[in-house]
Structure 1
Amino acid sequence: MNINFGYARVSTNEQTADRQIAELLKYVTDERYIYVDSASGVTNDRPDLNALKRAIRKGDHLYIHELDRLGRTKEVIKQELEYFRDQGVIVHFLDVPTTMIQFGEYGKFEKNILELINTLLIEVLTVQAEQEYLRSSKRRSEGILEAKKRGVKFGRPRYTYPIEMNQWYQEWKSGKITAVAFRKRLNLSNSGFYKIIKRYEEERMF
């Protein structure tokens, strides 16, 4: 039995794919078959997309909310589409109506015409998606440059040691408090704690 899969993508962990998922559930009957990545559309390092490729089979249908969710450049989109087509997977984009037509309802001639139309449409839309991505990247870079000129700082602020840092550090090293207790006092995650401790110890050497 063929399965309807869905794929959604957001660029950062701060964004939510809820809207995409809600639309995909109109075509995908089980949310378990919807794969969601929080990653840039220009990278191949997308764990859920890779997992989807391992799960999907010939004859299955793949629904994607928008063309640029599959990729942000023409090269990436083309590469992914070719992969799924080579696997015999039927890809549908919710924002490209002609890809939503079920070919089984038509004869061979009509099917060939629709495939040609979809190929041409996707070619045009992938170029548009890439151009929009490049424009957005340029605007973002220009905005960051101007902000830096005004003295705006980017990235996470540097961690500031509490005034009790040396006392707590000595208590930890002598075994009076555990690493967990020390970490909680510093209000740090486990990985963050050891990064800060390493930095603190390196600074103490000078």
Structure 2
Amino acid sequence: MENRIFGYVRVSTREQNEDRQLIALREFEQPIQRIYMDKLSGKDFNRPAYRRMMRALHQGDLLVVKSIDRLGRNYDEILDQWRIITKEKRAEIVVLDMPLLDTRGGRDLTGTLIADIVLQLLSYVAQTERENIRQRQAEGIAAARARGVRLGRPPKPVPPHFFSVRDLWLTHQISSREAARQVGVAQDTFLRWAREKKEPGAPICKKQ
């Protein structure tokens, strides 16, 4: 089987633009026959396109990525996948942003050692950056809540006829499932509203 050249592209969300990576792959010194792309987080390697690529990758093939963090952001898993590709599948890898991470051709012992050190360092940086992003997100959420900012979807409004339907349920004329259907919400939502919502000017009585 003729050796092939694969490219791999990853962005974390559907809103992010993959053009920069695609341009870099298309400018590679040799034509890339097939490019696989995922729009998912790099926290692990359970990604559809990546898994398809790994099934297609065989001995002598070449995998090209723009940077090591496009491969993933989990330190241990990056090292494990690198080992699987280069040792088990006996394929080659080129990381465009880091020329030292190029397994093509024979390397002497010093070159191999340097590549291993660089790989471990970059993998560690990729995971650290991911953890820093999560920490900044958590801090941003906490600060927003401290300012009284409501996060997430706005609460579903209670329809005007809720209280009359609730009264039918409280007097055992309809079931909670039927009450929820009439109000247009899930049964759990109706029961929560029945406990929490209070009709203006009237105390709520709870069904035992």
Per the normalisation by structure 1, the TM-score is 0.70
- Give the structure 1 partner of residue 91 of structure 2: 89
Residues 198 and 151 (structure 1), Cα distance of their counterparts in 2 relative to 1, 3 Å cut: farther
Matched ranges for 1:141-152 at <5 A: 141-152=138-149
Matched ranges for 1:122-161 at <5 A: 122-157=119-154
- Give the structure 2 partner of residue 20 of structure 1: 21
Q: Deviations over 1:12-52 (max 9, x none)?
A: 1111211101101122624x611110111112321000010
Unpaired runs of at least 5, structure 1 = 164-196
- Give the structure 1 partner of residue 168 of structure 2: none
- Give the structure 1 partner of residue 68 of structure 2: 67
Aligned equivalent of 1:121, options 118, 122, 146: 118
Contact 1:70–1:80 (Cα < 8 Å) also in 2: no
Q: Distance in 1 between matches of 2:91 and 2:158?
A: 55
Q: Distance in 2 between matches of 1:13 and 1:161?
A: 34
- Give the structure 1 partner of residue 42 of structure 2: 41
Contact 2:5–2:62 (Cα < 8 Å) also in 1: yes
Corresponding residue pairs, total: 167
Residues 158 and 13 (structure 1), Cα distance of their counterparts in 2 relative to 1, 3 Å cut: farther
Percent identical among aligned pairs is 31
Unpaired runs of at least 5, structure 2 = 161-180, 192-208
Residues 83 and 155 (structure 1), Cα distance of their counterparts in 2 relative to 1, 3 Å cut: farther
Q: Deviations over 1:154-178 (max 9, x none)?
A: 3344577999xxxxxxxxxxxxxxx
Per the normalisation by structure 2, the TM-score is 0.70
- Give the structure 1 partner of residue 100 of structure 2: 98
Q: Distance in 1 between matches of 2:150 and 2:45?
A: 30
Structural RMSD (CA): 2.8
Look up the SS of the partner of 1:97 in the other structure: coil
Residues 151 and 95 (structure 1), Cα distance of their counterparts in 2 relative to 1, 3 Å cut: same
Contact 2:92–2:103 (Cα < 8 Å) also in 1: no
